[in-house]
Amino acid sequence: MSAIQTLRNKSGLITLVIGIALLSFVITGLDPKLFSSFKTPENVIAKIYGEDYPYEAYYEYYEQAEKQLRNSEFQNAFQADALYNQAWQTFLNSALFDIQFKELGLGVYRDNLQIMGLSDKEFEDITIGENIDSELQRYFQNPKTGMFDKQMLIQTLANLSEYKESNPEFYESWIDYEKALHINNLRNKYNTLVRNALYTTSLEAEMSINDRKTQTDIEYVKIPFESIADETVTVSDSEIAAYYEKVKKSKKYDQEKAVSIDYVTFDITPTPQDIEEIKKAVLSKAEDFKTAKNTSVFLNLNSDSKFDPTYHKKGTLPPAIDSFAFTKAKNDITEMYLEGNVYKIAKISDIRMASDSAKARHILVTGQNAMKEADSLKALLEKGADFGTLAMKHSKDSLSAIKGGLIDWFKEGQMVPSFQDTCFFGEKGKIYLAPSNYGIHIIEILEQGKKSKRVQVQYLSKQITYSQNTRKEVYKKAVEFASENRTKEQFEAYLAKNTTISKKNGEKLGENERTLPGIQDSRAVIRWAHTNKELDKVSDIFTCGDKFVIAVVSKVYEKGKIPLDDVKEQIKAEVIKEKKIAMIKEKLAGINTQTTSLSEIGLKFNIVALTSLNISFAMYSSPEFGMEPKVIATACILEKGKQSQIIEGNTGIFVIKVVDRRTIDTNSDIQVEKTMLTQRASSQLMNATPAILKDKAEVEDLRINFM
C-alpha cells in the first residue's frame, strides 16, 4: 500500500478499520480456555452459558475502545464514561456470536490472529480471489483510472513483513482490518443463515396488500376514562394485591439489582480572591510573554495553552483576534480578556506568506538510518542527480515512486502537517527534508498556488479555578459533616434541621451505572452503595471532580420481581382503569349498542359522535383517536352499515359504526411485497438476535467486582 496515499487521507486504512471495527471491536477470540491462566473465582467478570470469562477477556475490548476514543476529535467526558458499557456490549456480543459460530460450524479458529474466522480458502477469495471485499476494492484504486487495482493490493500483502518494520502503524492497522474482515464475514454468514430461515408466502403478501387497499370510514363515540375522576373510584389494598398477583408474571415487573441513595455535595468553586490571583498571575507575565525569544518554552512554563504551530488565514480566527492578528505586527499582544472561564492574552508569534495548494515530488526514506540516507540523497539531488530516477529506486512510497515521486496538486488538510507546511511555506524549486511519522520526506516543490498572509497566534492563558486553600476549606466542611453524621438517622436528622445543605437523590442506580446526575467521576459512590453491607452507615468522603460527596443508602432493590410496594401506585392506576370500564359498562347496561344510534349513546355521557376516515388494517394509529388497535381491527372486519359492540380501548370505551368501505388501487406487486415483508422481518430479527442470545445464555454480569 502506498504510504503517501495513507498520508493523503491522513488516517487512510486506519479510518476504514475503525469504521468496520465499530460493528465489533475485533481483538481476540473469546474462547474462555484461552484465558485459563487468568481464571480465578475473584477474576471472573462474566458467566456465559455457565462458563467463566476472566476480566482480561473484557479488558482487551475496553482498551481498544479507549484507544479509538483517544484518536477521536470529539471525545468528551460522557463518551469516556460510556466506554465501559460500550466495551462490555461488544465483548458480550462477540462471545455470544463466537459460541454460535462454533456450534454451527461457520468458522475456524485462526491461531495467527487469535480469533474465530474464515477458512484460508474463504479469506483468499475475499482478498485476492474472485470475490474481493468491496471496501478493499474501494480503497485500493489506481489514482489514474479510479478503478480497483488488484496488483496494488497483492503488492501490499506481499510487503506486509517489510511494513512491520518500516511502517508499523500501517501494519497494525492492516492486522486490525484483517480481523474485522474475518469477523464481519462470519457475522454475515450467520445473518444469511438466519435470514434464509424466513419466508413470506404469497398468501401473506396478498393479505398485506389488501390490508392497505381496503379503506374504511367510521363514526364513533368515545367515552374517555378521564371523564370519571380518579378520586371517585374506591380501590382497596386487597384489590391492588389481587391484581398484582394476576399480572406480576409479566416481564414488565422484572427488575435488576439496584440501589437508591441520598447524598450531599460540598462544591469546590473559585472564590473572588482566587479569581483575582489568577488575573494578577496573567498580567504579571504579559511583558515577558511579549518579549520572550522562545515563545514555545515560555508557554510550557507559564500557560495553560501550549504552543500552536498553525498559521491562520484571514477570517479563520475568532473575529476580535482575527482583526488584531491581521492589523498588528509580530510580537504585539492584546489586553487581557476573559473567554469563557479563561483569562487570556493573545500574541502574534509569526507572520508569513504561504500558499494554500502545491504540486511536489518526494522520496520517502524509512528505517533506522533514514536521516543519514535522506541527507545523502539530498546531496546527490543538489549536485544535479535526476529526482525521478532516485525516487523510483529509493522511495518507500510505491504509488508515487513509479511516477518519479510526483504528488499532484493538493490542498490544505490532505497531507500530514510537516509535508504540507514544507510545500506551502517553502520556495519553489528548492529541496527540503521533512520528517513525519512515516519517515523522512525529501521534497522538491514544483508549483505553488497564490500566496497570502498567514498569522501564527499564541495565547498566554489561565483557567479560573479554585486554589488549594479554597479546596482545603471546603474539605474541612465535608469532614465536619461526615464526623458528626455517621448513621443514616443522624444524616436525616441533620438535614432536616439545616437547610443550608440540600439533600440529593440517586434513584434505582444499577450496578453498572457510571455517574450520578451532574457529578463527574462518581462511579466510586455507586459502587460503594452496591457493595456496602452496613445499610445504616454513612459513606466516607468521595472526591468527584470538583465536589466532595457523602452518601447513605436509602433503599435496596433485589433482582427478581418488583415488590408490590414499589409498584403500588402503578397497580392502583390499572385497577382504577378496570373499575372505570365496569362503571361505563354498567351505565350502558340495557342498551343494545348494535342497534341504538351513536348519538343516543353519546347523550348518556354528554359526548358527540365523531368521524375517522381512511382506516386500514395496515395502520397503527388514527389521527383522530390515537393508538387504539382494537378499534382499528374492529373497523376493518365489521360489515358496512353495522355498529359494533363495546370496545375496550387504551384510553376509553368505544362504539363504532362503519359508514363506508372502498378498495383503492395500490399497484402493488406480489413478489415485491414478499421481498419487502421478508426484509422487514429479517431486520427485526437481526436487531433482536443479540438480546435473544443473551437471554438464552443466562449471562451473569459481574463487573461490579472490578469497577
- Give 644-679 pLDDT, tens digit per residue: 999 999 999 999 999 999 998 877 889 999 999 999
Instruction: Give me the sheet containing 439-448, strands edge to edge.
Output: 406-411, 357-365, 439-448, 431-436
Residue percentage of the chain with pLDDT more than 90: 59
Calpha distance 622→451 (Å, rounded): 64
Looking at the structure, tell me whether residues 162 and 108 fall in a common domain.
yes
C-alpha cell at 674: 414478499
Whether 688 is covered by a domain: the verdict is: no
Domain endpoint, select from 354, 382, 410: 354
Whether 456 is covered by a domain: the verdict is: no
Domain endpoint, select from 354, 384, 404: 354
Identify the pLDDT of residue 84.
83
Looking at the structure, tell me whether residues 59 and 167 fall in a common domain.
yes
pLDDT band at 38; cut points 50, 70, 90: low
Identify the pLDDT of residue 37.
53
Higher pLDDT pick, 305 / 13? 305
C-alpha cell at 339: 473567554
Looking at the structure, tell me whether residues 21 and 157 fall in a common domain.
yes
Average pLDDT value for residue range 36-44:
68
Residues 6 or more apart in contact with residue 506 via CB below 8 angstroms: 260, 261, 262, 263, 516, 517, 525, 526, 529, 551
β pairing state of 258-267 and 504-510: antiparallel
Identify the pLDDT of residue 136.
84
C-alpha cell at 567: 409498584
Least confident of 2-6, 71-75, 90-94, 380-384: 2-6
* DSSP-derived 3-state class of residue 106: coil
Calpha distance 512→529 (Å, rounded): 12
- Name the region of 222 (left: φ>0; alpha: ψ -120 to 50; beta: rest): beta
Strand partners, 444: 361, 431
- Give 386-402 pLDDT, tens digit per residue: 998 898 888 988 788 88
C-alpha cell at 494: 441533620
Identify the pLDDT of residue 304.
95
Whether 672 is covered by a domain: the verdict is: no
Looking at the structure, tell me whether residues 159 and 26 fall in a common domain.
yes
Looking at the structure, tell me whether residues 578 and 657 fall in a common domain.
yes
Domain endpoint, select from 414, 449, 484: 449
Range of the domain at 515: 257-268+468-558
Least confident of 143-147, 309-313, 429-433: 143-147
Q: Is the pLDDT of residue 410 over 60?
A: yes
Residues 597 and 295 sit within 8 Å (Cβ to Cβ): no
Looking at the structure, tell me whether residues 18 and 98 fall in a common domain.
yes
Identify the pLDDT of residue 146.
76
Identify the pLDDT of residue 112.
82
Identify the pLDDT of residue 277.
96
* Burial readout 650-663 (b: 16 or more C-beta within 10 A, e: otherwise): eebbbbbbbeebee
Calpha distance 680→675 (Å, rounded): 9
Identify the pLDDT of residue 658.
97
- Give 414-456 pLDDT, tens digit per residue: 888 889 989 999 989 999 999 988 889 999 999 999 889 999 9
Looking at the structure, tell me whether residues 7 and 122 fall in a common domain.
yes
DSSP state for residue 432 in the 8-state scheme? E
For residue 396, what is the domain's CATH number?
3.10.50.40
Whether 206 is covered by a domain: the verdict is: no
Whether 658 is covered by a domain: the verdict is: yes
Average pLDDT value for residue range 624-632:
95
Calpha distance 170→399 (Å, rounded): 15
C-alpha cell at 322: 482575527
Nearest-CA neighbor of 309 among 463, 455, 460? 455
Looking at the structure, tell me whether residues 347 and 365 fall in a common domain.
no
Q: How many residues are there in the chain? A: 707
Whether 687 is covered by a domain: the verdict is: no
Q: How many domains does the chain have?
A: 5
Calpha distance 550→436 (Å, rounded): 50
pLDDT band at 26; cut points 50, 70, 90: very low
Looking at the structure, tell me whether residues 348 and 399 fall in a common domain.
no
- Give 210-236 pLDDT, tens digit per residue: 888 999 999 999 999 999 999 999 999
Residues 6 or more apart in contact with residue 80 via CB below 8 angstroms: 69
Between CA 279 and CA 287, with CA 281 as vertex, the angle to 5 degrees is: 105
Please provide the average confidence, as pLDDT, over all residues in the chain.
Answer: 88
Whether 88 is covered by a domain: the verdict is: yes
C-alpha cell at 473: 476549606
Residues 6 or more apart in contact with residue 587 via CB below 8 angstroms: 604, 605
Looking at the structure, tell me whether residues 490 and 365 fall in a common domain.
no
Looking at the structure, tell me whether residues 571 and 656 fall in a common domain.
yes
Which value, in Å, is the radius of gyration of the alpha carbons in the chain?
A: 35
DSSP state for residue 539 in the 8-state scheme? P
Looking at the structure, tell me whether residues 78 and 19 fall in a common domain.
yes
Q: Is the pLDDT of residue 31 over 60?
A: no
Residue type at position 587? K
Residues 416 and 7 sit within 8 Å (Cβ to Cβ): yes
pTM of the predicted model, to two decimals?
0.69
The DSSP result for 281-306, as a single string, is HHHHTHHHHHH-S-HHHHHHHH-SSP
Residues 183 and 157 sit within 8 Å (Cβ to Cβ): no
- Give 315-343 pLDDT, tens digit per residue: 989 999 999 999 999 999 999 999 999 99
Whether 651 is covered by a domain: the verdict is: yes
Calpha distance 79→65 (Å, rounded): 10
Calpha distance 665→663 (Å, rounded): 7
* DSSP-derived 3-state class of residue 466: coil
Residues 342 and 486 sit within 8 Å (Cβ to Cβ): no
Higher pLDDT pick, 307 / 168? 307
Average pLDDT value for residue range 472-485:
96
